[in-house]
Amino acid sequence: MRTADIRSRFLDHFAARGHTVVPSAPLPTPDPTLLFVNAGVVPFKPYLTGATAPPWPRATSVQKCVRTRDIEEVGRTTRHGSFFQMNGNFSFGDYFKEEAIGYAWELSTTAPADGGFGLDPDRIWVTVHHSDAEARVLWRRIAGLPDERIVARGDADNFWSMGVPGPCGPCSELFYDRGPAFGPEGGPAVDEDRFLEFWNLVFMQYERGEGGGRTGYPILGELPRRNIDTGMGLERMATLLQGADNLYEIDETRPVLDRAAELTGVRYGAAYEDDVRLRVVADHVRTALMLLADGTTPGNEGRGYVLRRILRRAVRSVRRLGHHDPALPELLPVARDCMAAGHPDVAASFARIADQAYGEEEAFRATLKQGTTVLDTAIAEVKRQGRRALPGERAFLLHDTYGFPLDLTLEMAAEQGVEVDREGFTALMAEQRERARADARARKAGAGADTSSLRGVLAAHGPTDWLAWKALTTESRVLAVLGAQEPVPVARTGEIVTVVLDRTPFYAESGGQDSDAGTLSGASVEAEVLDVQRPLPGLVVHQVRVTAGELATGDAVHAAVDAEWRLGARQAHSGTHVLHAALREVLGPTALQSGSYNRPGYLRLDFPWRGALSPAVRGEVEEVANRALRRDLPVEVKWMSLPRAKELGALALFDEVYGDSVRVVEIGGAWSRELCGGTHVTHASQVGTVAVTSEGSVGAGMRRLEAAVGLEGFAYLARERDLVAGIAEQLSAPRAELPDRIAGLLVRLKAADRENARLRRQAVVQRAAELSAGAVDAAGVRVVTATAEGGTDEARALATAVRDRLPAAVPGVAGVGTAAGVVVLALNKAAREAGLDASVLVKRLLSGRGGGSGELAQGGGLPAGRLAGTLAELPRLLGDR
């Protein structure tokens, strides 16, 4: 049975039993604790916690998931895949244990001809929580299972919670006995390769309190509404029904594995380590395909780094199997064809996906070529010095300068028997990230507030009444005032705190749009709103600075958005949609926005594209955008079902999770139609103008457009006009002639530079001849010391010129210093043959500062007044050797 058929049977089974079929959420998730959806329940968490009322009493889905915490185990076990699909059925206060067990048993054991999976009932085992006598009774009655195939387990295996205070409960897992060829007898407690878990039924009936870990937290009592959350691994069921040994050999992955084996000439099944690499390739290529399809792009942080790591592990695995040509163009189309039946959107957007993936592989191949040389040199130095570990600063240099991720350095170093100082690397990375994020972290509302305090506010008062789409002002009540660690009784003048209101007109930063600015005012307080965020689903928080008076919980305040700020934000957000549509009109549908940011007067838009946009293309994009503004296209907001929005071709931003009803923003109808939660103008002409200010690379295969919008756009164009006018006046030339006039000036400047360089070389040669004639002897070595006018380049040129003038058969050393305190040493061939080393000499001369090769080295840090004395030490140093 094909994986796509298993998927459709599952959904059909539960749809026929009153469940609403909910589409898979995109892999990127707005949950601040996750990068990607990692379990089928994640999109339903707000309904299970009570933060949001569920739109249906029961639902079913096949959710795409990515987990990378066990990435090193991929390929080595039968159970670990970085991408997987979780079939789930959910009840929100509707049915409970009896129905959940009955539905699972029925689907698992019903014959395929009748819509089931046809598993042998006599080979199914189940586990239950040791305290859950009810589940044991139900399994006996519904399934007829004997006691020996109902295994009791403890909290670590069969009690579920989200890891935070909230719903929890016992669970019951279903396992299938694959037979003695896969392991020993004894059930899942003995061997989980033979007894493969394929379904987990979670019975949420309790509320848990604070406490870390999977056990040890208090149970506070029964939930008022009991819920069901189940997860059936689609790949695991495919493994069982297709008779595969493991999930890498099912119909959605095995063709990729086979193509990789064909490319590399490796036979699958012949050698364990080769098999592991082939499985890594099959898994990672599919995972990368699905991440790219959902809008993730390779990068150096967060989600982008996860994708980049997965792509690079796939490419490196193929290279280690012996294939050194580009691999993804051979493998990714195979993965597309494998996934198309269950995910037709992958095939529809494959041109964009392929462009990004192939660009990333090209960049990685260049990184490997350059970085491998650096790493090999560093490892050789470690071995020569008799050490076992590559220093953390060298690993950091590889990462920061050459783009080598730590896991790649670890892997390649291990191949040569060398460890890596991970602690040193981690410390340097932490320092860099802390510096980079300090400002951003400081301004995020709620970032410093205690999470449990925020959850407490949400539990006590419910979701914030968010009115940003409708109003610029509200009369509000302060629900909480939070400091960095805990609630505070009162905030006084000058203090910055996090404030939760019962209702707010402020837009919380999301969808690329910056948060609103404005004020809170009351009988005894004036406060400036600095930032607005959503740290928890449904909860809006404000970072405010008290400018006068005092602010306390319970205060009545007038919340007012800065109207000019909001107007600018609306112009910028609508301008982003316009520029996106113009970009796609000019470049085609693969130029799909993958990230954006807009604030009053400014926007930026990232999109996948290989190669810079020419000035002509950039101008065409700008013209198309501004023609749309001139046509005054209407801007309309519509609510509709997600399937209807997809049918109309609405573009989705993949960082968002969409509910049953979605908000679609149209500019000129189908010309620009996107799912969006931002604020917008009502007619395109209100944007004013879109002036593209820059276009550049932000990573392999990714470009960024920046533009000024509205009044700032006109101001930018005015500055450009004034700049051109000033240049024309200075050159006494009409504006139309400026390009030719400037081109002529550049030609003359380059000619003058070449003549100056020739004269400098001539002067160096002449001075070198004079200096070499005055060389002094130091224990059989001819020595020349001098100072160079200019910088280090001039010193190096003079030192090498003097060295080349010294007698070839006699050891010779040239030492040249600069006014900036830099010293350059150059040795001739005879000096090298006599055992002298420029790098060693410069370090001795400068007390350890400096380095280079045996022939040419330099060091610095000398005060200008000590330069002459230091150079005078060179002959004595050579005499003492």
Contact 334, 350 (CB under 8 A): no
Contact 267, 278 (CB under 8 A): no
Mean pLDDT of 400-429: 80
Is the pLDDT score of 157 beyond 80? yes
Average pLDDT, the chain: 88
Q: Which candidate, 293, 404, 310, places its Cα nearest to that of 355?
A: 293
- Structure-block tokens of residue 737: 């002639």
When the candidates are 3.10.310.40, 3.10.450.750, 3.90.1580.10, 3.40.50.720, the CATH number that belongs to 757-879 is 3.10.310.40
Mean pLDDT of 756-770: 86
Is the pLDDT score of 579 beyond 70? yes
Domain locations in the chain as residue ranges: 3-242, 254-436, 451-561, 566-723, 757-879
Lowest mean pLDDT among 426-430, 609-613, 795-799: 426-430
pLDDT of residue 213: 61
Phi-psi region of 236 (alpha: psi -120 to 50; beta: other; left: phi over 0): alpha
Percent of the chain with pLDDT over 70: 94
Q: What is the pTM of this model?
A: 0.66
Contact 533, 464 (CB under 8 A): no
Q: Is 577 annotated as a binding-site member?
A: yes
* Residue-wise pLDDT tens digits, 494-528: 999 999 999 999 999 988 899 999 999 999 999 99
Q: Is 461 annotated as a binding-site member?
A: no
Q: Is 338 annotated as a binding-site member?
A: no
Is the pLDDT score of 599 beyond 70? yes
Is the pLDDT score of 244 beyond 90? yes
Contact 182, 174 (CB under 8 A): no
* Residue-wise pLDDT tens digits, 58-77: 999 999 999 887 777 788 87
CATH superfamily of 566-723: Threonyl-trna Synthetase; Chain A, domain 2 (3.30.980.10)
When the candidates are 3.40.50.970, 3.30.565.10, 2.40.160.20, 2.40.30.130, the CATH number that belongs to 451-561 is 2.40.30.130
User: Who wins on pLDDT, 764 or 86?
Assistant: 86
- Predicted confidence band of residue 443 (pLDDT cuts 50, 70, 90): very low
pLDDT of residue 426: 83
Is the pLDDT score of 437 beyond 80? no
Is the pLDDT score of 809 beyond 90? no
Is the pLDDT score of 653 beyond 50? yes
Lowest mean pLDDT among 91-105, 238-252, 651-665, 700-714: 651-665
Mean pLDDT of 13-35: 87
Lowest mean pLDDT among 91-95, 201-205, 245-249, 699-703: 699-703
In 349-391, which residue ranges form alpha helices assigned H by DSSP? 350-384
User: Who wins on pLDDT, 151 or 410?
Assistant: 151
- Predicted confidence band of residue 388 (pLDDT cuts 50, 70, 90): confident
Q: How far apart are CA 219 and CA 222, in angstroms?
A: 8
Q: Is 324 annotated as a binding-site member?
A: no
Which fold does the domain 3-242 belong to in CATH? Answer: BirA Bifunctional Protein; domain 2 (3.30.930)
Is the pLDDT score of 655 beyond 50? no
- CA dihedral (302, 307, 309, 310) in degrees, to 10, reads 140
Neighbours of 242 (CB within 10 A): 15
Lowest mean pLDDT among 153-162, 205-214, 419-428, 544-553: 205-214
* Residue-wise pLDDT tens digits, 866-881: 888 888 888 888 877 6
